[in-house]
Amino acid sequence: MEIEITDEPLRNWIKSYFAIDHITSAIRPFMKQLFEDKFQENVRKVKKKSNLMNIYECNSCDPDKVKPYHAMSGQCSFPRKRGRCNCAKENTIPCPAINACGMLYDIMTMEHIMEEPIWSNSNYEQLSTRACEQMKCYISCTGYRDVSNVDQMELTAFFQICTNNTILRRTLDDDDIRMLEQVKNDHREIVGSTDASADKFKKYVSNINVLLDYDTCIVDRDYFISMELKKLEDDKVKITICEEIHYIKKALYAISKAKAELQDESEGDSGDQIRLLETVESMQRRRLQQQTEVFIQELLRAGARYQPG
């Protein structure tokens, strides 16, 4: 049972989201390897500086409570934190693994562009053993604790990790960052709307093709992705109510993340942007309920038609 979407602005919106999904899938392998390499580098640094001879596997240290390695010097290494560093807290707990987690705290804080990793995004029991748990601390907003692997991360999370971690930022050149940011902004624009004009859709695909064509380490121009984008451009894809429901759910998730990020900002028009997102969120929730009910009714009717006897 397939109810095809015929409304052109809605089709364009869904096709735009399809295109974003394709480029995100193309970027993900590079990001996965980049994060794993950075994780292994962090582990090597921890073991070397802490003189840890065994495997670094500590599941007891909460980074909000662990005693930093630099606390032994009696001087804070992070002046930007202005007294918020763990070395200024009372009753911090030294890591039982020769202060290894205190060293990881120092490394990850030092590499954050604002010296403020968001520790609540991680499951601290796995910080020493999983790349994803470390990298989530460089996402700009909270709410990623339940994201258990890189396959669940969206384009905006990739961009934020690569720009908030100063070491990863230097891995990419300015054109990489510029084009990645453009596609990320397109994603945000799609999320903040409920339909798209033909010109908007063409712009989104054009920006993705620029990123694919550029000689970048981020992504290779995969033949399958190129063909899928061409089919979207030629409108040779079947878009049903199933795809609509799927992408409304994805948009609602992305809206929740965008709102969380904006709520952390105290400057500019973030309040107006949040209100606009809330309006779109309300519209999408109503649409999701309506289309889900239509889908269920069609399933019931289809089942009744095929009853034996």
pLDDT for 299 equals 84
In a domain, 296, yes or no: no
In a domain, 266, yes or no: no
pTM of the model: 0.88
In a domain, 257, yes or no: no
pLDDT for 55 equals 87
Number of domains in the chain: 1
pLDDT along the chain (309 residues), means of 10: 88 96 89 95 93 89 96 89 88 93 97 95 95 96 92 92 94 85 94 96 92 69 77 92 96 92 70 92 97 90 64
In a domain, 274, yes or no: no
In a domain, 273, yes or no: no
In a domain, 155, yes or no: yes
pLDDT for 265 equals 65
pLDDT for 243 equals 95
pLDDT for 198 equals 96
pLDDT for 117 equals 96
pLDDT for 251 equals 96
In a domain, 47, yes or no: yes
pLDDT for 213 equals 76
pLDDT for 268 equals 56
Output the 3-class SS for the chain. CCCECCCHHHHHHHHHHHHHHHHHHHHHHHHHHHHHHHHHHHHHHHHHHCCCCCCCCCCCCCCCCECCHHHHHCCCCCHHHCCCCHHHCCCCECCCCCCHHHHHHHHHHHHECCCCCCHHHCCHHHCCCCHHHHHHHHCCCCCCCCCCCHHHCCHHHHHHHHHHEHHHHHHCCHHHHHHHHHHHHHHHHHHCCCCCCHHHHHHHHHHHHHHHHCCCCCCCCCHHHHHHHHHHHCCCCCCEHHHHHHHHHHHHHHHHHHHHHHHCCCCCCHHHHHHHHHHHHHHHHHHHHHHHHHHHHHHHHHHHHCCCC
Domain extent at residue 84: 11-233
